[in-house]
Amino acid sequence: MPSVSSPQDLPARPRPGVFSRLGHALRDPVLIEPAIIALGALIVAAAVFSLFLLVLGKSPATFFSLVWMGGFSSWFSIQNALQRAAPLILTGLAFAIPARIGLTLLGAEGALVLGGLTAATIALPLQHWSLPALVILPVMASAAILVGALWMGLAGWLKHARGVNETISSLLLTYIAIAIASFLIEGPFRDPASANKPSTQPLGPDLRIGEMFGSSVHWGLAAGLVLAFVLWFLMARTTFGFAARITGGNLRAAQGQGLAVGRLLLTCCAIAGGCAGLAGFFEVAAIHGQANASLAAGYGFTGILVAFLARQNPLAVVPVAVLFGALDAAGGLVQRRMEMPDATMLVLQGVIFLVLLVSDTCYGRLPFLNYTRSGDRT
């Protein structure tokens, strides 16, 4: 163990250069430990899933090469992956932000569906008054964000004011949200022309959000990237984020500091709901063009997995979401080429989630990391 530097020489230490700081970071357990454990968990999950394939008499090698082909190998498949990653970034953030303040909020799916429905329906009268798309689209997005924020904020309010477990309430609110949405889509808001699949009236072509730079990736990805950075900044570099981290790390300490714990909890929930609602807006405006049952495609739940693998770090959510987008994109290929049911990908996601939960027990126990380095016990 290195000797304790005497307190007196601490301020006099010269400012380290970029490279030595990078080297320092690479040896800092706080930074590399999550990366090592997350990667290890993915490898173990792949191994377990291979066993599952072998039992079914399928070749794991074929499977993983198909995933590579379907998700990463060509510009086409990369676009496919990125397109699916867009909502996952947003729903991943919707889990990660409340998690930083100590809440396990599962409600992103419900907020996404309600946000999408709101965007699709609020656009119709505005379209009718022939307002320009540049006015309507922001209104749609804001309304989707607002509805999502209110919906998840409800779970936060129940937690703060009534002590209701937020995990349970947000999960149940999700099913209520989906039920409300299908009631409205099949009832009052139904487009009579949608005979086979009940939907709201389709948006006009000018309200469809185009693709970025000639690719098939829509602007939701850009929104996700920006939001991931903004929310990282909010949590890491602002007084709000600092107070939220105190609250998440030790509620008693936060109360002792007189922080407005309730307001912080509610705000984090509302931010989460806003992210999910925005994901719903993009699903409607860029993919489906109307609200229907396809909105509840499970992005809200996969987002939980994304946030877990990213250790609730808003920046890490982005690459993880791309990885899961690629898995999703490869699903169809696996289904066709290997003659496997489309639930295969759900099995893989489930295995990853389970291994991840187990891998949480490895923190602080990696034999090759020097944990004592970042602080000496005196």
Partner 1 sequence: MSQSPLPPRALALATRGITKIFGPMRALDDVSVEVPAGSFHALLGENGAGKSTLVKCIMGFYGADEGQVLLDGAPVRIDSPRQAQAQGIGMVYQHFTLVPCLTAAENLVMARAAAPAVINWRQETRGLEEFMDRMPFRVRLDKQVADLSAGEKQKLEILKLLYLDQRFLILDEPTSVMTPSEADEVLTLLRGMAERQEITVLMISHKFREVKAFCDGFTVLRRGRVTGGGDARTASVTEMSRMMIGETELRERAARESRGLPRPRLVLEQVCAEDETGRQVIENLSLTVGAGEVLGIAGVSGNGQAALVEVLAGQRPMSGGRLLADGAPFTPRRADLDRYKVFGLPEEPLRNATVPRMTVAENMAFRSFDKRPLAGRFGILSPARIRAQSRDLIRRYNVRTSSPDALIETLSGGNVQRAVLARELSGNVDVLIVANPCFGLDFASVAEIRAQIMDQRNRGAAVLLISEDLDEILELADRIAVMSEGRLTPAMAVETTSRAEIGRLMGGH
State the nearest-atom distance from the C-beta of 183 to partner 1, in Å: 38
State the nearest-atom distance from the C-beta of 97 to partner 1, in Å: 17
Is residue 36 within 8 Å of residue 27, measured between CB atoms?
no
Measuring CA to CA, which residue among 281, 272, 324, 273 is closest to residue 88? 324
State the nearest-atom distance from the C-beta of 28 to partner 1, in Å: 9
**For 104, phi and psi rounded to 5 degrees?**
-105, 95
Which residue, 175 or 363, has its beta carbon nearer to partner 1?
Answer: 363
Encoding tokens for residue 207?
A: 């309200």
State the nearest-atom distance from the C-beta of 3 to partner 1, in Å: 9
Which residue, 85 or 254, has its beta carbon nearer to partner 1?
Answer: 254
Quick count: other Cβ atoms within 10 Å of Cβ 232? 20
State the nearest-atom distance from the C-beta of 277 to partner 1, in Å: 24
Which residue, 62 or 238, has its beta carbon nearer to partner 1?
Answer: 238
State the nearest-atom distance from the C-beta of 4 to partner 1, in Å: 6
Q: Distance between CA atoms of 314 and 107, rounded to whole angstroms?
A: 18
Sign of CA dihedral 322, 54, 347, 366: negative
Which residue, 29 or 116, has its beta carbon nearer to partner 1?
Answer: 29
* Interface contacts to partner 1, rule CB under 8 A: 2, 4-5, 7-8, 10-11, 30, 237-243, 245-246, 249-250, 252-253, 255-260, 372-378
State the nearest-atom distance from the C-beta of 168 to partner 1, in Å: 19
Kindly provide the b/e burial profile for residues 314-328, where b requires at least 16 CB atoms within 10 angstroms of the residue's own CB.
bebbbebbbbbbbbb
Which residue, 5 or 74, has its beta carbon nearer to partner 1?
Answer: 5
Q: Distance between CA atoms of 107 and 151, rounded to whole angstroms?
A: 8
Q: Distance between CA atoms of 26 and 22, rounded to whole angstroms?
A: 6
Query: 218 by DSSP, 3-state: which?
Result: strand
Which residue, 197 or 373, has its beta carbon nearer to partner 1?
Answer: 373
Is residue 276 within 8 Å of residue 115, measured between CB atoms?
yes
Which residue, 15 or 128, has its beta carbon nearer to partner 1?
Answer: 15
Q: What angle do CA 284, 320, 71 make, to 5 degrees?
A: 75
